[in-house]
């Protein structure tokens, strides 16, 4: 049989909301998620896990308490477990996230931007 | 301080050998690896883990005993744990792999194409 690949660009056409990661694949107990970012997110941390950001389109920044990293398409960064961070993007930016299944986008912070952590596209 | 992102295109300029994955990042106990594929790989399986292929440039195919999947740039596929597969690419193809640290490229098959599983770039 012919298996179907997961096309990132096609998956990105299926939603338009910001800061709401959508699961596209599971590897062992990890999820691959797509998210569209624009504006400011909240300061938070993930106490149990590192978190991968891989920029697919546009550019974004992740602020830390002691500095920041700027990411463009084709660049990735791994936020270490327990480190407070605040992602933001001036213009809409498309990102692939990799993190354990069940990871909550706002980590320990909670609040209005907390998204469903089990939404597939 | 200003942190430095991992630039996939830049990392790909640092090596040219085929079928020899290079580690670029670690998330928890998982490695992100870049690999350049050309020609045929060997049939093998990873008995303990799923394996992620995300094509960055070019195209490739993964054959299974019951079919195949064709992947182009911007497409990904997760080979399930235990499933025999044979990746191949007619022309050079650049791929991002995600798998547990220590995963051996030839899985249970071994042989001449077995690469160092701890090589960073």
Show which residues on chain A lie within 8 Å of chain B, measured between beta carbons. Answer: 1-9, 25-28, 30, 32, 49-52, 64, 66-72, 74-78, 81, 98-100
In a domain? residue B114: no
β-pairing, B59-64 vs B85-100, is antiparallel
Token pair of A22, please?
Answer: 């959508």
The residue whose two tokens read 């590192």 is A50
In a domain? residue B42: yes
- Count other C-beta atoms under 10 Å from residue B54's C-beta: 25
Q: Which of B51, B33, B50 is nearest to B94 (CA)?
A: B33
Query: How many separate domains does chain B show?
Result: 1
pLDDT class of B119 with cuts at 50, 70, 90 = very high
Q: What is the pLDDT of residues A103-118, one digit of tens each?
A: 999 999 999 999 999 9
Show which residues on chain B lie within 8 Å of chain A, measured between beta carbons. Answer: 1-9, 25-28, 30, 32, 49-52, 64, 66-72, 74-78, 81, 98-100
In a domain? residue B56: yes
In a domain? residue B118: no
Give the separation between CA A83 and CA B76, rounded to whole angstroms.
29
> Which of A7, A25, A76 lies closest to B5 in CB terms?
A76
Domain that holds residue B86: 8-100
In a domain? residue B3: no
In a domain? residue B57: yes
In a domain? residue B19: yes
Chains A & B: contacts with CB separation below 8 Å: 95
pTM, two decimals, is: 0.97
Count Cα neighbours of A62 within 13 Å in the Cβ-side half-sphere: 24
Contact flag A6-B52 (C-beta cutoff 8 Å): no
- Whether B26 and B101 have beta carbons less than 8 Å apart is answered as yes
Q: Say which CATH number the domain at B25 has.
A: 2.60.120.10
- Whether A53 and A97 have beta carbons less than 8 Å apart is answered as yes
Contact flag B69-A8 (C-beta cutoff 8 Å): no
- Whether A32 and A25 have beta carbons less than 8 Å apart is answered as yes
In a domain? residue A33: yes
From start to end of B1-121, where are the E strands?
6-7, 22-27, 30-40, 51-57, 59-64, 67-72, 75-79, 85-100
Q: What is the pLDDT of residues B2-48, one digit of tens each?
A: 999 999 999 999 999 999 999 999 999 999 999 999 999 999 999 99
């Amino acid at each position: 049989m012919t298996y179907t690949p997961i096309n990132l660009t096609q998956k990105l056409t299926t939603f338009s909301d910001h800061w709401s990661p959508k699961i596209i694949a599971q590897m062992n107990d990890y999820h691959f998620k797509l998210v569209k970012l624009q504006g400011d997110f909240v300061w938070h941390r993930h106490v149990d896990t590192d978190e991968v950001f891989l920029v697919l389109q546009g550019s974004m920044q992740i602020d830390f308490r002691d500095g920041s990293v700027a990411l463009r398409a084709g660049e990735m960064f791994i936020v270490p477990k327990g480190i407070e961070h605040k992602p933001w993007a001036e213009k809409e930016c498309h990102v692939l996230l990799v993190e354990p299944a069940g990871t909550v986008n706002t980590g320990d912070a909670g609040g209005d931007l907390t998204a469903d952590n089990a939404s597939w596209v």
